[in-house]
Amino acid sequence: MDGSMLVWMDIGHLNDIPRPGSRVVTTPGIDIAVFRTADDRVFALHDRCPHKAGKLSQGIVHGDSVTCPLHNWVIGLEDGQAKEPDEGCSRTVPVRLEDGRILLAVGGA
């Protein structure tokens, strides 16, 4: 992704996402799952499990992982990597918190 073309878009307030949990941001391309952990950190991944494209936004969030609803792969929120023994990776999307607002990086790619 070309950093210079990133646009930080305000997509909502932290409290719009259940704790711990996830909501979806739809885009013209792929859906993006935005996660909130029990300790109020936010992460964003393409809403597509590396296994068989399960919607990670529908999974159970625990620690800094999410368990995919389809076949229970566990995906790390920080790096999008599937935990052992599974292998694969969901794309991460830059996201940050500013005064409780969630800013998601869009464009660029």
Partner 1 sequence: MNMIAPRRSRLVLVGNGMAGVRALEEILSRAPHEFSITVFGSEPHGNYNRIMLSPVLAGEKTFEAITTHPKSWYSENAIELIAGEAVIAIDRDAKTVTGELGTTRPYDVLLLATGSNPVIIPLPGHKLPGVIGFRDIADVETMIAASQSGKHAVVIGGGLLGLEAANGLARNGMDTTVLHIMPTLMERQLDPVSAGLLKADLETRGLKVITEANTKAILGEDRARGVTLADGTELPADIVVMAAGIRPNIALAKEAGLACGRGIQVDDGMTTSDPAIFAVGECVEHRGALFGLVAPLWDMAKVLADRVTKTAATDYVPAVTGTRLKVTGIDMFSAGDFMGDGNTDDVVFRDAARGVHKKLVIRDDKLIGAVLYGEARDSAWYFDMIRTGADISALRDTLVFGPSVGGGEAAGVETLPDTAEICGCNGVSKGTILEAIGKHKLTTVDQVRARTKASASCGSCTCQVEGLLAFALGGDYDATPKIKAVCKCTAAGHDAVRAAIMDKKLKSIPAVMRAMGWTTPDGCASCRPALNYYLLCAWPGEYADDSRSRFVNERMHANIQKDGTYSVVPRMWGGVTTAAELRAIADVVDKHRIPTVKVTGGQRIDLLGVRKEQLPEVWRDLNAAGMVSGHAYGKALRTVKTCVGSEWCRFGTQDSTAMGIALERMTWGSWTPHKTKMAVSGCPRNCAEATIKDFGVIATEAGWDLYVGGNGGIKVRVTDLLAKVATEDEVLEYAAAFMQLYREEAWYLERTAPWVERVGIDTVRARLSDAGGRKLLQQRFQESQHHAQTDPWAERAAGAEAHEFHALATVE
Site of interaction with partner 1 (CB under 8 A): 9, 11-12, 16-21, 23-28, 31, 34, 38-39, 52-55, 58-63, 65, 67, 69-70, 72, 74, 84-85, 104, 106
Supply angle C-alpha 63, 50, 32, rounded to 5.
70
Choose which of 13, 52, 83, 101 interacts with ligand FES (CB under 6 A).
52
22 binds ligand FES (CB under 6 A): no
Give me the amino acid identity at 107. G
Instruction: At 81, give phi and psi (nearest 5°).
Output: -80, 140
73 binds ligand FES (CB under 6 A): yes
Which CB sits closer to ligand FES, 42 or 68?
Answer: 68
Whether a cis peptide bond, with omega within 30° of 0, leads into 85 is yes
Where do we find the tokens 């992460």? 43
Q: Which does 41 bind (CB under 5 to 8 A by kind): ligand FES, partner 1, none?
A: none
Cβ contact 20:36 at 8 Å: yes
Q: What's the rounded Cα separation, in Å, for the pair 24 and 34?
A: 6
User: What would the x/- binding string for ligand FES be over residues 78 to 97, using CB under 6 A?
Assistant: --------------------
Q: Provide the 8-state DSSP code for 50.
A: T
Choose which of 23, 51, 58, 92 interacts with ligand FES (CB under 6 A).
51
